[in-house]
């Protein structure tokens, strides 16, 4: 059963699905909104630009992200979520409301409000879950339901989540890395590491500061990660380079340097090794029967923090950050294969 089928069945029990039933992946870095029957209709950064004095929302999503580190003192561009959970309730509510209004059009006042399934991290506390639920209701949802992110990913990838077989999901988002073992419609073992794509960006920025004496912002670090980020040497044997601009650490004057993919690779080693250690620890908590299933069936690797594109079988070390992570996972207990899918 796919994730959108699950949504249709869920809402079908409450009077039938309508065109305004939504699924929302509320992420630290990006928020995705899917509409039943239409698929993903919105994929925008989880960023809000506000006026400091009045807390008035000026922009959300792509427009707000362009304002990061470019706003005057009277304004600020903020991430209302930290590590996958709500950090600023009011701003999160405003962002959700704006995204819901972008995703669906309510032509008439009497048109029903949307019913929403919204993703949350495995490690969210009851208080954090309540904050997400209340934000969804206050932003315009008629009903709101919460689902763990790895379960949503497994259903979206059509894994046999309702069968008596173990499926392992590693979801690398912007703020958290979620690891879960799923069987018989539930999560048997799970863990949440508050280290993911954003921490990789920070690692790149800090490494370049120490190595080349240049300060860069989070947007530049993210672009570097996407364009030339890797853990293993590239398959063609050629390294990549990139010209970046920033601020000199010592003179505080504008500075332009050429960076090499080897430098980015060195910056990413430590956080990637921590992710792999976290996955190993979760595997150790899995009972032998489920572990056997995972060894046979492989691991689903998903999430935007892994820079994923397409559905790929990986059986040997490849190129790029994700392939190295998969290879490290494969060596945990002799897993034969892994899959990766779009977020």
Are 163 and 302 part of one and the same domain? Answer: yes
**Residue 292's domain is classified under what CATH number?**
3.30.420.40
Domain boundary among 267, 288, 312: 267
Task: Name the phi and psi angles at 209, rounded to 5.
Answer: -65, -45
pLDDT, tens digit (0-9, with 9 covering 90-100), for 128-183 = 899 999 999 998 888 999 999 889 888 888 888 899 999 989 888 888 888 999 99
Report the domain count for the chain: 3
Are 85 and 223 part of one and the same domain? Answer: no
pLDDT, tens digit (0-9, with 9 covering 90-100), for 228-283 = 887 777 777 788 899 999 999 999 999 999 999 899 889 988 888 888 888 888 88
pLDDT, tens digit (0-9, with 9 covering 90-100), for 141-151 = 889 999 998 89
Burial of 72-105, coded b for 16+ CB within 10 Å and e otherwise, reads: eeebbbbbbbebbbbbbeebbbbbbbbbbeebbe
Are 277 and 303 part of one and the same domain? Answer: yes
Do 178 and 142 contact (CB within 8 A), yes or no? Answer: no
Are 310 and 207 part of one and the same domain? Answer: no
Domain that residue 188 falls in = 159-195+273-340
pLDDT, tens digit (0-9, with 9 covering 90-100), for 185-209 = 999 999 888 888 889 899 999 999 9
């Amino acid at each position: 059963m796919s994730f959108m089928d699950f949504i249709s069945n869920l809402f079908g029990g409450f009077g039938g699905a309508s065109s305004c039933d939504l699924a929302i992946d509320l992420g630290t870095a990006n928020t995705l909104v899917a509409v039943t029957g239409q698929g993903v209709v919105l994929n925008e950064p989880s960023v809000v630009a506000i006026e400091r004095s009045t807390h008035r929302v000026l922009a959300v999503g792509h427009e707000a992200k362009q304002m990061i580190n470019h706003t005057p003192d009277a304004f600020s561009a903020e991430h209302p979520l930290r590590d996958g959970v709500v950090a600023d309730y009011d701003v999160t509510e405003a962002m959700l409301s704006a995204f819901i209004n972008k995703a669906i059009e309510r032509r008439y006042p009497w048109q029903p409000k949307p019913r929403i399934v919204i993703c949350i991290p495995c490690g969210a506390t009851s208080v954090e879950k309540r904050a997400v639920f209340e934000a969804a209701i206050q932003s315009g949802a008629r009903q709101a339901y919460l689902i763990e992110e790895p379960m949503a990913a497994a259903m979206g990838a059509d894994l046999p989540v309702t069968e008596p077989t173990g499926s392992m999901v590693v979801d690398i988002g912007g703020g958290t890395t979620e690891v879960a073992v799923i069987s018989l419609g539930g999560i048997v073992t799970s863990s949440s590491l508050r280290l993911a794509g954003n921490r990789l960006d920070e690692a790149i920025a800090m490494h370049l500061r120490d190595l080349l004496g240049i300060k860069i912002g989070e947007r530049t670090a993210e672009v570097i990660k996407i364009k030339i980020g890797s853990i293993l040497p590239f398959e063609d044997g050629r390294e990549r380079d990139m010209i970046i601009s920033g601020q000199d650490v010592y003179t505080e004057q504008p500075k332009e340097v050429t960076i090499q993919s080897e430098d980015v690779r060195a910056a990413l080693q430590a956080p990637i090794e921590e992710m792999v250690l976290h996955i190993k620890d979760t595997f150790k908590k899995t009972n032998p029967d489920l572990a056997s299933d995972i060894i046979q069936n492989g691991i689903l690797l998903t999430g935007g923090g892994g820079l994923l594109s397409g559905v790929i079988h990986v059986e040997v070390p490849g190129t790029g950050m994700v392939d190295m992570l998969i290879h490290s996972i494969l060596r945990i207990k002799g897993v034969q294969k892994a899959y990766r899918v779009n977020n």
